Amino acid sequence: MSVPTQARAEADPAAPAKAGRRTLGLMLLLTVLGAVLVLTAVGRVWAEGVAGTLKVSVTGGRISELPGGLALVALAAAVAVFAVRGAGRVAVGALTLLAGLGAAAAAAAGAGDTAALDGEAARKLALSGTTAAGITHTAWPWVALLGGLLLALAGLLTTWYGRGWPAMGSRYEAPTRKAPAKAAESPADLWKALDRGEDPTAL
């Protein structure tokens, strides 16, 4: 640690905690924003065209269920950050990173997909082998891709800074059993044990 950095740390002992809270807040913001973008995008139309005289369209969720599913995994991982510590947070961060990259890759793959649209055209005309014509693609796959990248960035932050983030308070942890009180040797000892909230008859 350099002298100026050490001096700043000594001047403000709470600086590391403040930095930890900032990066934790940024991770949560990126996770929520990324998940909202992905989940919103997969519910929108990604491709449309015509089959005969009928207009056909498919949403991102019809093209691929991966982006939406992986966004939910990333949201669950963000909650899990508060329940684990140390290496557990690194693992959660790696999971979020992979989920975000997977969602982005699936969105990119679905941006030019026509198989789902052809399937919708065949369903509407009740003719197998029917293909859609005049196919156009919307920008929603790229919105999902952006959301996936934000999730990946949130996972990277968790992997890099997660060890220094605060964990759940002790009131959320399993209660520990108190050691049994020693056998009281006199009535006065019994009263003192009761005053301390102990059970003097416990083994």
Q: Which residues pair with 16 in a beta bridge?
A: none
**Is the pLDDT assigned to residue 1 strictly greater than 60?**
no
Dump strand ranges (E) for 103-199: 133-137
pLDDT tens digits for 22-46? 888 899 999 999 999 999 999 999 9
> Considering the chain, what percentage of its residues have pLDDT values greater than 90?
42
Name the fold adopted by 14-172: Butyryl-CoA Dehydrogenase, subunit A; domain 3 (1.20.140)
In our burial notation (b when 16+ CB lie closer than 10 A, e otherwise), range 30-67 reads bbbebbebbbbbbebebbbbebeeeebbbbbbbbbebb
pLDDT tens digits for 60-118? 999 999 999 999 999 999 899 888 888 889 999 999 999 999 999 999 999 888 888 88
Per domain, the residue ranges of the chain are 14-172, 177-203
CA distance 51 to 134: 9
Length of the chain: 203
Q: Which two tokens stand for residue 175?
A: 């209660």
**Residue 171: predicted pLDDT:** 44
Q: Which two tokens stand for residue 152?
A: 């990946």
Find where tokens 């969105």 sit: 107
Phi, psi of 54 (to 5 degrees): -100, 140
